[in-house]
A and B are shown apart, each in its own frame.
Chain A
Amino acid sequence: MSLIQAEQLTKIYGQGETAVTALDHVNLSVAPGEFVAVMGPSGCGKSTLLHLVGGLDRPTEGRVRIDGADLTTLDDARLTELRRRKIGFVFQFFNLIPVLDATENAALPLTLDGVKPAEARAKASEWLTKVGLGNRLRNRPDQLSGGQQQRVAIARALVADPALVLADEPTGNLDTRASDEVAGLLKQVSDAWGRAVVMVTHDPRLAAYADRIIFLKDGAIVDETRLSGNGAEEARAVKEKVEAL
């Protein structure tokens, strides 16, 4: 049974003549523990898809089920609770609260859920250590490099034990080495820790870390590739596909 089950997912922005169809009757299912990359040119609807799956936005048509729960029927409070408990997010920019240190940032989903501060901190430092920041627990975001900041964000995405991690261009702001580290870490999230990961990216090299790549164009899925793990070669194939779009 799939963790994400999206059916006929449609999102239209605006009305009448200015209406823009960002997503056009998309069907998608993601299995538990699977690492899926979403690729496509700007404006193809990648981010919209991620927002709808993450319960950050509501579809115009169609439905999304996460672990059996239909997001389209939930009210704001229930949706917020579901995000807090079932989904972890990693964004491109502005990922961390500048006035909180690494541990406090990573602990946020737990703190917001009313978990005792000591317990939340303990869990947060545990995950920070797992992502390789055991020596940076008390640093504030402005004292961390971009790659380290994204790792804090990944630790935060995992701290509440969600089944699903959503990442929107998580390496958009990073250099090549840091990008590889982050993508590798996301692969670990899926392989070693068994969380499903959906990552939006425009970089074929990073997409090659995934188990499956979905290609979007003009709001619809136009192609899909399952990867076998042969990094360099597959990356080249993906690149060609992207360029063909």
Chain B
Amino acid sequence: MNIQLTLAARYLFGRKLRTVLTTLAVVFGVLVIFGMNTVLPTMLEAFQANILAASGQVDVTITHQSGEAFAVSVLNRVKAIEGVRAAAGSLGRTVNLPQGWFGRNVNISAVSLVGLEPRSAQTIRNYSILQGRFLRTNDSLAAVITTSLADQLGLKVGDEIKLPTPEGTVALTIVGLRPARTLPGNEEVLITLFEAQKLLDLPKRINTIEANLDTTDPARREAIQKAIEAQLGKSYQFGALGSGAELVASIRTGQAGFNLFGFLALFMGGFIIFNTFRTVVAERRRDIGMLRALGASRPTILGLILAEGLLQGGLGTAIGMALGYLMAAGLLNVMAPMLEQFIHLRLGAPIVSPALVAMTIMLGVGVTLVAGLLPALSASQVTPLEALRPATAEVVQRAIGLGAIVGAVLIVLAAMGLVSGNTGLVAAGGLSFLLGLVLVAPALVRPIAVAFGALVALAFARQGTGTLAQGNLTRQPSRAAVTASATMIGLAIIVAVGGLTTSLAGNFLGILRKTLGSDYLLLPPALAVWQSDVGANQDLADQLRQVRGVGAVATMRYAGAKANGKPVSLLGIDPATFPQVAGLNFQVGEADTAYAELARGRTLIANGPFASDAGLKVGDMVTLSTPQGERPYRVVAIAGDYLNAKVTTAYLSQASLREDFRKTEDIFIQVNLAPGVDPAAVEPKLKEITAQYPQFKLVSGRAYYEENKRLFDAAFAVYYALFFVLTVPSLIAILNTLAIGVIERTREIGMLRAIGSTRKQVRQMVLAEALLLAATGTAFGLLAGLYLGYVMVSALSSGGFPVTYSFPLGGLLAAIAVGLLFGVIAAIIPAQQATRMEIVKALRYE
């Protein structure tokens, strides 16, 4: 074996604890990257298969323009197109039911009978089955329905459901139950495609093709869709991708976020490796000097250190990937029930792509090599003379160096970026702030250690160990700083995410309560994709108003328009009734004056995304394209509501909408009860009225709020769990630094013991040092975290997505607790090592 590899392996084996710790650092970085990038695509896949599908939004839906059925062969043409991951054909139709079909008390006026090819259908959507089984290809007269339908009809698996068909009434045996339908729209009765073709008398025909694409890249998706259009020709139409594409985009943003955190974790790992290798080189200066004297060339020494890095990097990456996969599988397992319960998302097996494996290996081994390179280069600069000089304990006393100055400049730049309010500058500021802190850290270690040292010294006053620990820490300020930086990044993540989530949750729920805070909501089938909703004429709102106990009713109407060539949703509100029931969240302008201005006509309230997108300020004129031609509108305020928070939207008076867009259809209705009215007395009547308009679903405002809050909480719980995992490398960093410190000071510790320190005092010295390190890192972490959290929130705000910053007290306290806990945990092993030393051996230690 090559001499460098031999030596590397021997050295690694000779210092087992340190090797394990350093390797662990690599393991963790790799684990996070590999694990997260396994979890996310799996979730993304599940999202595509479930959420999009469940809301009728698979990637592409193809129907004939006439709405009529077409030949099955069209499906094969779609399947053959490159980029189509899966495609399935179905034959469905709405079956209107005669009054009282299911009995007097059951109020179901229609169901959708859907014929599916069982196997291919499941490649497009995830049909979870709660009881019984899914359809099989050779089933005959078998059906799968939802538990909500089964409950309404009092049916269970094995019972029969009767439906009218062109072939007469058929009785279908229920073979399986799906989760309750939560989305508005008709209940579905699933049967096999063959059965449907028979019952509907349409042999070998389908009327819908659904296809999923193999990418989330918007440009590629568009290209694939174009290819499908080219293949099928003009007589086929495609389902709206709008809202689905938006959901995919937000998942992609999430993925980018997670990757950012994964890189941060690996960055931490890099710090730890850097620290270790620097110590390795310092410790072995003499060995290296001797090798140089014996004729080892500089490249040989460089190779020696890098070989160690390679061994550790390779091993760490391999273990990290294995553990990362297990973590992903475990995490998915834990999340699965939660996701299934709250958002009806069913997860598949973890997805590992070869590209991810290649990327992880490159990153894991690459980071190790890069982190080892600087120490290795410095090792290769060791002169042979170093082997001949007598040993002196090194105490690095560095004046405030160039790094600290550059760091300070970066921090000032970051602050300026924040003040500027420009999104790009704010985001760049976040990065520069973190980098600045890392650079400034060595200069700050001493003052911070002195400050906290006073506390620690107080705590251990009688042993005098606090002062020793403080001295030990400050004599290697750059190592302490690198360790503190690793801790800082870990804790900064907790605090920053805490800040972001607290702010987001507070704001979203606040806006939700403000804008959808009415007692009852009449929700159309699709929220925020208003153009596809069928509304109601004014009769519905009038009927609701006449119900005894109803206080106020506000409606929303929709029209699509273009402003400056870009689409914008126009929502018509009644300036008089709307504020009584709901409201907008005002960023610029006053509610009262804005509604009054709106009532005058040809005025609009722009929401954040629209204002930001079109560069609008209050008082600006904007031209809207209407069926009557272009019309100028004046912006009177900037405000938004919950449902349209991410869609470019403007609010007009219903009068303007009628005049310029000829739209009078209500697509969303909010109802408030009169003060002191018991909901139980009014609700049945409301239900009765709504039942005549099956396109609307009546929901109590409170239930809607609670459901959304639950969703938020579930999502945040997952986030917090993930970010806690990300902080573990900082624990390793402290542990590693302490262990290195103990090994390095073996002789000193022996001396301390020889002159009469008790084991307890030595243990306390190590513990005090650990706490100092942790406190320093935590202090940096809190600072950086608060800043980063604020930056994320401001970045959102300047993107037209107004969020007020809330102070993350919870995250802050959690970070402090985690930081100090890590300090204590990290001290355990090194303290044990230090106390168990045999005095004589320690004194002889070289």
Contacts and interface: CB of A to CB of B under 8 A. Distances in A.
Interface of A: 47, 51, 54, 56-57, 76-77, 80-81, 83-85, 89, 91-95, 97-100, 104, 108-109, 111-113, 117, 156, 160, 168
Contacts of B287: 94, 97-98
Contacts of B13: 99
A89 B291 CA distance: 10
Contact of B291 (A51, A77, A112, A168): A112
A158 to B, nearest CB: 12
Nearest to A157: B294
Contact of B293 (A47, A56, A100, A104): A56
A117 B388 contact: no
A231 to B, nearest CB: 29
A109 B295 CA distance: 7
B840 interface: no
A89 B293 CA distance: 7
Given A57-B385, A108-B294, A94 B846 contact: yes
B388 A56 contact: yes
B10 A111 contact: no
B3 A56 contact: no
Contacts of B298: 76-77, 80
Most buried by A among B13, B286, B293: B293
A156 B295 CA distance: 12
Contacts of B6: 100, 104
A56 to B, nearest CB: 4
Contact of B292 (A80, A85, A117): A80
5 tightest Cβ-Cβ pairs between the two chains A and B: A84-B295, A99-B10, A94-B286, A56-B384, A111-B3
Contacts of B293: 54, 56, 83, 89, 91
Given A51-B385, A56-B384, A112-B3, 4 more contacts: A81-B297, A83-B294, A108-B3, A112-B291
16 contacts: A51-B385, A56-B383, A56-B388, A76-B297, A77-B298, A80-B292, A85-B295, A91-B293, A91-B387, A91-B388, A94-B387, A99-B13, A99-B14, A100-B7, A104-B6, A112-B300
Interface string B5-22: 011001101100000000
B294 A109 contact: yes
A95 B291 CA distance: 10
Contacts of A51: 385, 388
Contacts of B315: none
B297 A80 contact: yes
B296 A112 contact: yes
A83 B295 contact: yes
Contacts of B3: 108, 111-112
Nearest to B12: A99
A68 B290 CA distance: 25
A97 B297 CA distance: 17
A108 B384 CA distance: 15
Most buried by B among A76, A97, A98, A100: A97
Interface in B344-398: 383-385, 387-388, 390-391
Given A94-B846, A97-B290, A100-B10, A47 B296 contact: no
Contacts of B290: 89, 91, 94-95, 97
Interface string B275-296: 0000000000011001111111
A80 B387 contact: no
A57 B387 CA distance: 12
B718 to A, nearest CB: 46
A76 B293 CA distance: 12
A34 to B, nearest CB: 22
Contact of A98 (B14, B292, B297, B390): B14
B814 to A, nearest CB: 43
B1 interface: yes
A99 B296 contact: no
Nearest to A104: B6
Contacts of A100: 6-7, 10
A93 B390 contact: yes
Contacts of A95: 290
Contact of B295 (A47, A80, A98, A104): A80
A76 B286 CA distance: 19
B291 A108 contact: yes
Contacts of B387: 91, 94
A81 B295 contact: yes
Most buried by A among B290, B298, B846: B290
Contacts of B286: 93-94
A89 B294 contact: yes
Contacts of A77: 297-298
A47 B293 CA distance: 14
Most buried by A among B3, B7, B10, B390: B3
Contacts of B846: 93-94, 98
Contacts of A84: 294-296
Contacts of A109: 294-295
A185 B387 CA distance: 23
A85 B294 CA distance: 9
Most buried by A among B6, B14, B384: B384
Contacts of A94: 286-287, 290, 387, 846
B4 to A, nearest CB: 10
A89 B1 CA distance: 25
A112 B297 CA distance: 8
Interface string B255-287: 000000000000000000000000000000011
A69 B384 CA distance: 20
A91 B387 CA distance: 8
A105 B13 CA distance: 17
A95 B293 CA distance: 11
B28 to A, nearest CB: 27
A32 to B, nearest CB: 20
Contacts of A93: 286, 390-391, 846
B744 to A, nearest CB: 15
B144 to A, nearest CB: 67
Interface string B286-328: 1100111111111010000000000000000000000000000
Nearest to A57: B385
Interface string B815-846: 00000000000000000000000000000001
Contacts of B291: 97, 108, 112
